[in-house]
Amino acid sequence: MITRLVTLFVMLLALAGAHAALAAPAATAAPAAPAHIESHLTGAHLAGQGPFTWFGLKIYDAELWVGDKGYQPDQPFVLELRYARKLDGVKIAEASAEQMEKIGAGTAVQRAAWLARMKEIFPDVKEGSRIGGVFLPTAGARFYLDGRPLATISDPAFARAFFAIWLDPQTSAKTLRGALLKDAAPR
């Protein structure tokens, strides 16, 4: 009788263990960086991500990719935006210039020149479009549309001002900044 109880108990433990293994969520691997991101970052990893909303409307999801040195203002990184809706490229440029002004980046003359250049290069986007910006500390910024080269702006001051829209402590999107920098430490 005791032997049967012990056998039954062992079988129940085995079944419980199998059930727990089936019910346990699978460990998810860190997402692999797209090729256009890996080409700019050594040891590319996703530092953080989050949505940007405006008056309750989701505009885009942002991802910050960093290299093995993590997020540092003097190291390359990639900020990629996946748009949740159709937007006019000129409006994207104007909103970017407005945010640069709000954080005090550049002079009025610089911002006017930057706005003109952004109007030239930022395309109209639709739901699902991705614009990735690569911060190149001494060279400026390189942009990609859906993983394909879009344009380069060879102006380090522009690059610092542009990416400050999301990463400067004075950003108007503080919650998104926190989400982007969540895992931005060196590896």
DSSP for 9-70? HHHHHHHHHHHHHHHSPPPPPPPPPPHHHHTT-TT-EEEEEEEEEETTEEEEEEEEEE-TT-
* Structure token digits, residue 175: 């919650």
* Structure token digits, residue 142: 């390189």
Rounded Cα–Cα distance for residues 50 and 62 (Å): 5
* Structure token digits, residue 125: 């986007």
Full-model pTM: 0.82
Rounded Cα–Cα distance for residues 52 and 173 (Å): 8
Q: How many CB atoms are located within 10 Å of the residue 161 CB?
A: 24
Return the biggest CA–CA distance within the chain: 91
Residue 6: is its pLDDT beyond 50?
Answer: no
- In which band, very low, low, confident or very high, does the pLDDT at 29 lie, cut at 50, 70 and 90? low
Q: DSSP state, 185? A: S
Residue range 93-101: average pLDDT? Answer: 97
- In which band, very low, low, confident or very high, does the pLDDT at 28 lie, cut at 50, 70 and 90? low
pLDDT at position 73, please?
A: 87
pLDDT at position 14, please?
A: 40
The phi and psi torsions of 47 (rounded to 5 degrees) equal: -80, -35
pLDDT digit string, tens, across residues 123-178: 999 999 999 999 999 999 999 999 999 999 999 999 999 999 999 999 999 999 99
Rounded Cα–Cα distance for residues 91 and 96 (Å): 8
Rounded Cα–Cα distance for residues 147 and 35 (Å): 8
Mean pLDDT of the chain: 87
The helix/strand/coil state of 167 is: helix
pLDDT at position 22, please?
A: 40
pLDDT digit string, tens, across residues 44-78: 999 999 999 999 999 999 999 999 999 998 999 99
